[in-house]
Structure 1
């Protein structure tokens, strides 16, 4: 009895301290209800201790009265903890039952066995009913976080109730160790923390560690009890303590890990599944080095977690974000950076659009517009994917359409760690692509050296011999002249193929200087006009006025423009319109860039009115040796892309079957102009035909 009295006094002091701490943090109605409940628990344990210490009937009666009041306070506290309609019927029934219970507690028969049995049934029934009503209110909430928090509180409350019932058996003359008192104080403490932290996520680590520590403490007590029981009692106390400590130290680490895993798996099932899935997904992403594999691997892992109903990964390019993978919804295939600017300016590591836009203000109007570009993911959690030097390389969108407040703060931290791993994976895929390109070019370079010697020299001999035979052939021998002409023509074609191959394998960087793009284009058109073999193709110029200079080799730019125009002429089938235009494109600063002025670009566009290209052709357009022409080498566009990329630019293509094709060269503006005379006519030309 001495241990029980001390334990109950200790628990009473702790319960009163918890009640006082909650009142110091807030003065709302729920805080006062909790203070009343915790004070009732403290007084109940204190009265039990005093009743046993003083053997006073008065304190026994006080304990009985507090026993009646305790479930009444708990029921009203549970109702105030979760928002929702009040269950007036249950409240009336509880009050109606509580009044006669108080009368019994003040009656002379309060210590009679039948009275104690009725009180015991009243406390058990009302307490279980209160927990059941708390469970129902939690399940009716649309917020996953609230549902999880309530479920956790109900489980802990049920455990505390089960063990605390042993304390009520003292009214029937049955005295057990005060385990229920300790667990009841644990429940009061967790309930107090849940009032201060409205989301379960803040309680996850605290509650998990508390349960693990409590379980380990009982395990240690059980080991020590076993040694005392089977080896010896107090006479061998020191030996028992040493042996129990050795056994516990040996079993501590594996026991703690297993208990922690089981408790988290049982009490925090959804969080445990998400954490396990993300850990597995991060391991898989660490071994993903192909960009084509990144999206499917990520989406499969997110779907496997069963916590995400829709998601999408977008990878950044200079002007926007391309869809790399999606699940659960029809995500937009591309997001423009300018449209997303209000959102990206506010995005640090993550942002809940659902929470941010739940009650938007006028200042949030640009954010609402930017979020609408995400389509079905407009209410998602959006996470920044950053690579080296914290550069934004993509965005990850995840959502659970089944509930509100789908992800708790700690779960968002897990998703942010996943986004960081995605950033590393994207960086790795780009490095791997560069390594593959370097190895491929090294192999092509070695092959080109042998090709130049083994093919071009014999081709020269074949062509020379054919030309000699053609000169010596009789004028009336048309058959021989025809076949010799074919030999010379095919030799020239094969020589061009070898030359293109050498140009691609061993690219010449040329002499990049600040160049007047308009003047270079006019000169190129003049050269092509003299050799124009398609009189039914109309070639138009639409050149912008006051176009800045671009840093590029003049001959290489001429090579690129000629290649694109020839492709366009072939695309229209020898009859149609090809438009060559230039313009200034305002650049967009990188996110986080502090420059006051963004870098500008020069656009050189070649548009044709042909049949367009299919998505499959567009996907392989710049792949070396891929061609749709009967006699094409498949290297023209690959060389074009290489030349433009070497000066810091890029090639963009827009095409739809039946609506023509537009190739756009995006070239950075030169920082310093070449000290030469500007062309005399740099005005905008429109609808000028070059025959």
Structure 2
């Protein structure tokens, strides 16, 4: 049999308790033959005396740690219960508590192995210096950090730093000359620092944990080096994963901003094209009062749309509304009214049909499709907008008789960003339009033939059937 440490320690505690009770009972029996007048008082005094003696002799703090050290040294082959320590260590690393930082979990997990009363995590900063992580205050000098040269040294050849060796005279110290030369002055001078554990992930230093001296005064040995080195590797994996998640989150934010910026640049290009067409038409129709009124309305709408585009760049941009029942014809008529000075647009279909959509997103998607249709059509060739019911869906179509697109481009390039058949085109309009429509629960279909024209169809659920769809 090979009893565990817990069984041995608890067994010794039980034996000590029985010995204490036996000693107390013997003391009470020894009082009775004395023939005292108040035997019960003597017995009570004996019980209180034994209790006080137990409380006085019970090991606390440093004495308990020393006792555990002696038991581990003389009763077991190894000082550490590796299985128990590893279970506690990994559990503490993964025990995510509300509002608790990973730095605190790492500090407590590593300190728990050696029963150190304090620990401090230092991580590399932007300049390469080691800086304190979290909100801890030990040791005092750690707020000054450690130089980048010190960080590179322990990252290049990671080994457990021995605080006592750094403070010992150079002639008898186990620390190398490089360690003594590059270690910060506060680390060498602070007698409460017992060890430093480098956290190395792959070949990259991600942190350094400083441990306070254990209650039982002792020097680091080979077993401490092995256990703390393995614990440092495991803690480094958690820290590197957290740092990777932070970097990924930041990259996603930049990606979202770049994606939003690309859409806005495309929209600005469309506005520039619209204003260019208005300017060219003004040369022919400047004397027409109706055209001048439409041109002023177009300019006002362009300014409003530019303001909206600038607002979309803000991180606090207003989110789109949820799809709700509305009439698509109203959106089509609004677009045709604004584009009248730019290009002839015809609207047809049913005004009494209601679909489930967000008018702002539908207007934005149609704006891309109408602009593409205008650019593909001749100056006097109208673009057609229509609304029809298709079973349990509503179809909003954009039709032009322009140059059309090849079937291969429709299949493989139309909805790919930065792929375009137009000179100077960004290839983003159709991609953004499909994304906007999909966000409302709809879909975008396209039919095109070279030399004959293109027809885009936006398919959205009809408002009257939306409840039936949700219950189906």
TM-score, length basis structure 1: 0.27
Higher relative contact order (CA 8 A, sep 6+): 2
TM-score, length basis structure 2: 0.37
